[in-house]
């Protein structure tokens, strides 16, 4: 469902739709990499531009100190980090926020 007050609402609706197709087909219980491989198929079908395991530079005080990989960078501005867990925890949200900040998204 598209919500016009949210930034990238159309794009995120398509991404969520693709993720739901994967989840509906595979269900629960697989390792994260299986869902990642399946989700990499959907954007090609839907003509959604994406990069899998996008490597992001990490800087501290304008110095490059390393890199981190996000599962997907979609439309060059939306980070998707998959989790194959029973329950999302605060640490998962913190990881996603760190990725967004590190890549200025």
Check: CB of residue 52 under 8 Å from CB of residue 70: no
Where residue 4 falls among pLDDT bands split at 50, 70, 90? low
85 SS3 class? coil
Ramachandran area for residue 28 (φ above 0: left; ψ -120 to 50: alpha; else beta): beta
Does the pTM exceed 0.85? Answer: no
Question: What are the pLDDT digits (tens) for 5-52?
Answer: 788 899 999 999 999 999 999 999 999 999 999 999 998 888 899 999
Question: Nearest to residue 48, comparing CAs of 26, 85, 68, 75?
Answer: 75
For the chain, domain boundaries: 9-102
Question: What are the pLDDT digits (tens) for 54-90?
Answer: 888 888 888 999 988 889 999 998 889 888 888 888 9
Torsion sign across C-alpha atoms 38, 83, 7, 50: negative
């Amino acid at each position: 469902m598209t919500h016009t007050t949210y930034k990238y609402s159309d794009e995120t609706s398509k991404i969520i739709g693709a993720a739901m197709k994967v989840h509906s087909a595979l269900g629960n219980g697989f390792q994260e990499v299986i869902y990642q491989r399946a989700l990499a198929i959907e954007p090609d079908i839907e003509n959604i531009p994406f990069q899998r395991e996008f490597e992001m530079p990490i800087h501290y005080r304008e110095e490059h100190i390393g890199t981190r990989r996000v599962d997907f960078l979609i439309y060059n501005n939306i980070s998707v980090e998959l989790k194959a867990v029973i329950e999302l925890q605060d640490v998962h949200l913190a990881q996603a926020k760190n990725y967004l900040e590190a890549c200025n998204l």
